[in-house]
Structure 1
């Protein structure tokens, strides 16, 4: 019988560094979509707070840290990253495991807003996109979720099937920004 081996989406592609920017893969234990049922927003928020100590984020925001984060994912949907979603959420929200469906990378260092500017129409300047802000946007030709997680750090997510393209596009932009410096 064949034995399956779990591989991360960016297996063999990362880490990568050039200039003063670093690109690494994050491989969260769990990624759970939380979509409160109609009229159950407050109950879902209370269950999330009680079980995980996190707030449901407002549109375009996130809460938490590297160990447990909730990001706004789209209208009426948030994504819990890190811990397994507590069963108490199921009474107030549709809870869907997305763990294996996404590729997650971290871009950090000096000049990272310039890297993202080459790939996305959004304004990712650190003065305009503060820590905790999150957006669903285009990244070159892929749809992505981008969250600023620190002073000079962004978490970038695309569908798992686009992992190699994401890494290629980010590496190309990183090299261009580094060459400019």
Structure 2
């Protein structure tokens, strides 16, 4: 019998530090897709608040408290990161454990916006894409969910199968931004 070893999506790939920017892996306890049933968004949001202290986010936003966050991921859906959801929520929404399906990374530091600007068409200007804002967009050629989690910090979610490619693309962009900064 083969002994299987559980690994995180970015095992052996992260952390990376280039110049003032770091890329690290984030490993929440759970990632759960929550899709409220037709007409049940508010009811599901209240149930989520009762069970976990957070509400469902508005489009393009995130909500959170402590180690649990809900991020908008599309029309009528969100991902809850950080805790296993109370099973009672299934009365109001379809729940699907996505913990093994996604790679979650944190890009942080001065120049992080410049790194992401090389890979995504999102306007990352902090006056436009503020803390708590979320966008589902491209990262290079991959689908990604990008969230601003701090003044100089972003969390990036890509499908687990794209983790190695995402790390490579981000590292190349980090090197390019760092090299350009060194010329100034």
User: Normalising to structure 1: TM-score of the pair?
Assistant: 0.98
Q: Which is further off, 119-128 or 167-176? A: 119-128
Aligned to 2:15: 15
* C-alpha distance in structure 2 between counterparts of 1:180 and 1:126, whole Å: 21
Q: Secondary structure at the match of 1:11?
A: coil
Check if 1:69 corresponds to 2:69.
yes
Deviation, 1:27, is: 1.2
* C-alpha distance in structure 2 between counterparts of 1:17 and 1:97, whole Å: 31
Aligned to 1:90: 90
Residues 125 and 65 of structure 1: is their aligned pair in 2 closer, same or farther, counting only changes over 3 Å?
Answer: farther
Moved over 4 A (4+): none
* C-alpha distance in structure 2 between counterparts of 1:39 and 1:166, whole Å: 36
Check if 1:151 corresponds to 2:151.
yes
* C-alpha distance in structure 1 between counterparts of 2:103 and 2:122, whole Å: 20
Q: Secondary structure at the match of 2:143?
A: strand
Aligned to 1:114: 114
The count of corresponding residues between Structure 1 and Structure 2 is: 181
* C-alpha distance in structure 1 between counterparts of 2:47 and 2:177, whole Å: 44
Q: Deviations over 1:80-103 (max 9, x none)?
A: 000001112100000000000000
* C-alpha distance in structure 2 between counterparts of 1:148 and 1:155, whole Å: 6
Q: Deviations over 1:89-147 (max 9, x none)?
A: 10000000000000000000001111011001111122221000000001110000000
Aligned to 1:51: 51
Unaligned runs of 5+ in 1: none
Unaligned runs of 5+ in 2: none
User: Normalising to structure 2: TM-score of the pair?
Assistant: 0.96
* C-alpha distance in structure 2 between counterparts of 1:172 and 1:160, whole Å: 19
* C-alpha distance in structure 2 between counterparts of 1:4 and 1:28, whole Å: 21
* C-alpha distance in structure 1 between counterparts of 2:175 and 2:51, whole Å: 43
Q: Secondary structure at the match of 1:7?
A: coil
